[in-house]
Chains A and B, each alone.
Chain A
């Protein structure tokens, strides 16, 4: 493991403007991603995982978003760069794989042109060299007939093929760092497995640091080295993947695991987390943000200003409520 992390996020807060007031969608998040490491970020819809990813790439509309904190990439704070300087990093040093491959490709440009876009921006190659490299990339991501695909338009490809192309575009300049924002959500299950295998294979080859954003714990188990669980804009638990799956601590993490349908046990009802994620405007700014979704846990169990606690080495949990947490059905069992 390198002594300096590849990407170091320090107290990142992303606030969106809603009617002239800023509301933080990502609240004081600190993260490290090392080289050759896959960090998965899980959480339900609207918990700020995509907002975090877009903040790292600085893709938010700067007119109504405020970014605070630091995003250090190889020691350089990306948030202090001008757009032109940022463009030197985008594509060359860091790439992004999008959720929906249909919309992530320009419908009017041939696949070849789109793969060459990043090379055109960053590398000084001739047209022939770019074409050769594009074909090589297409072959690398498992496209059976690169020559033909090179000349095709996005609508002529299937969903899985498109996502392969999107991956090819993201890795075209061999970036050291990739963000994959729910790369398999728009695909069907068999294709998902193929795409994940492909990503793992490429990751091993190129030693990339990856932030993988997903809400699929199965994907996390397969891909990730470390996992960060996000809730309501904050990281509530972060640990390496084995620890987290073996010993999830935060009530939210435990609820998530409990919500996975399982074929093995004969449980007749699936666990449902009560309530909904509070909207950005109504988010409680003090206290444990998860408290109103586990109302059976008494107030005193929560910290008034929850911080991350290191329960064991590299396993951090927010708030103290994890110590007293139990599921409603288990209450009697625990009392005896």
Chain B
């Protein structure tokens, strides 16, 4: 918060103006060097992965070339090849793209469902709240992991889109609960009633008055969730219940290390993917924490 000074002229008035939300975030990142580096690194990786992968063909990359099995990293294959003679570097790029796409898509879809339902439940309360919350409870008691595993084994030609679908089906509940609880508190504020007395319809109040007041929580929650969702994809694939080998992801690359021979003697196959996941997770978490502090005045550094 800027310290109020005596205003002699207009330029000083401008200075006293408290910073907008975006400026607070910028300041937080400038103060927190780790978060700033994380942000640059993360954006760099994302941009590089998406741009580079545009020139790659999944079929080409995943074509088995048995004569090139387990090549060590060299000038032709930067990071060597796996047991099918496939280039690890290209798989890494495609895998990172797929994993990021899955993570981002699941985060967005679950957020949209969670925000919409949570906002409705929290704003209206009563039976609306009851219906939504009992639905959430129902979804929560389902053994999600088991259903996902069954779905993966049953559905032929499992791909990125189907994976996003089945994951989104189960992971919107916690967001819905979070938003609902915040909306419950927010709707009691008088500005909601005040807005009603001005003849503003409910949907407008929900979208343009209540939702912006929840935005900080939503942004923080989405960021931290992104890391979690990438993690879920990777671990499921590692266990063999995620994407097939024809669709490379960070998880498929790491899952090659289930073979002890690869694990011990051919680290170039799985190590890059593992490091990339580590770096991405740390980056996202540092960024998320910086955003979290920016949203809470008491924790701010800047």
Contact = CB atoms under 8 A, between A and B. Distances in A.
B199 A109 contact: no
A117 B190 contact: no
19 contacts: A59-B196, A63-B124, A83-B201, A87-B199, A96-B194, A99-B190, A103-B191, A104-B193, A104-B194, A105-B191, A106-B191, A106-B195, A118-B199, A118-B200, A153-B18, A156-B17, A169-B194, A169-B198, A172-B198
Nearest to A100: B190
B191 A91 contact: no
B213 A63 contact: no
A121 B198 contact: yes
Given A63-B125, A64-B126, A108-B213, A103 B200 contact: no
Interface string A80-124: 000110011111101110111001111111000000011001100
A153 B201 CA distance: 23
Contacts of A94: 197
Contacts of A63: 124-128
Contacts of A57: 196-197
Interface residues of A, number: 40
Given A153-B18, A156-B18, A106 B213 contact: yes
Contact of A95 (B18, B197, B213): B197
B199 A122 contact: yes
A298 interface: no
B189 A59 contact: no
A281 interface: no
B212 interface: yes
Contact of A98 (B13, B124, B190): B190
B125 to A, nearest CB: 6
Contacts of B198: 90-91, 95, 117-118, 121, 169, 172
Contacts of A105: 191, 194
Nearest to B1: A155
Contacts of B101: none
Contacts of A90: 196-199
Contacts of A91: 197-200
Interface residues of B, number: 24
Given A63-B126, A108-B212, A121-B199, A98 B194 contact: yes
Contacts, number: 84
B190 A103 contact: yes
A166 interface: yes
A61 interface: yes
Nearest to B188: A103
Given A106-B209, A109-B212, A117-B198, 17 more contacts: A63-B125, A64-B126, A83-B202, A90-B196, A96-B193, A98-B190, A99-B190, A100-B190, A104-B190, A105-B194, A106-B195, A106-B213, A109-B209, A121-B200, A148-B13, A156-B18, A169-B198
A161 to B, nearest CB: 14
A78 to B, nearest CB: 13
Nearest to B10: A148
Which of A83, A89, A117, A122 has most B Cβ within 10 Å?
A: A117
Contacts of B199: 87-92, 118, 121-122
Given A61-B125, A104-B190, A106-B191, A155 B18 contact: yes
B207 to A, nearest CB: 13
Interface in B118-137: 124-128
Contacts of A54: 193
Contacts of B197: 57, 59, 90-91, 94-96, 170
Interface string A236-263: 0000000000000000000000000000
A220 B212 CA distance: 39
B257 to A, nearest CB: 49
Contacts of A104: 190-191, 193-194
A94 B193 CA distance: 14
Contacts of B127: 63
A121 B128 CA distance: 26
A170 B128 CA distance: 31
Interface in A117-170: 117-118, 121-122, 148, 152-153, 155-156, 166, 169-170
A292 to B, nearest CB: 32
Given A91-B199, A92-B199, A98-B194, A61 B126 contact: yes
Which of B17, B128, B191, B200 has most A Cβ within 10 Å?
A: B191
A332 to B, nearest CB: 50
A18 to B, nearest CB: 14
Given A106-B213, A108-B212, A117 B193 contact: no
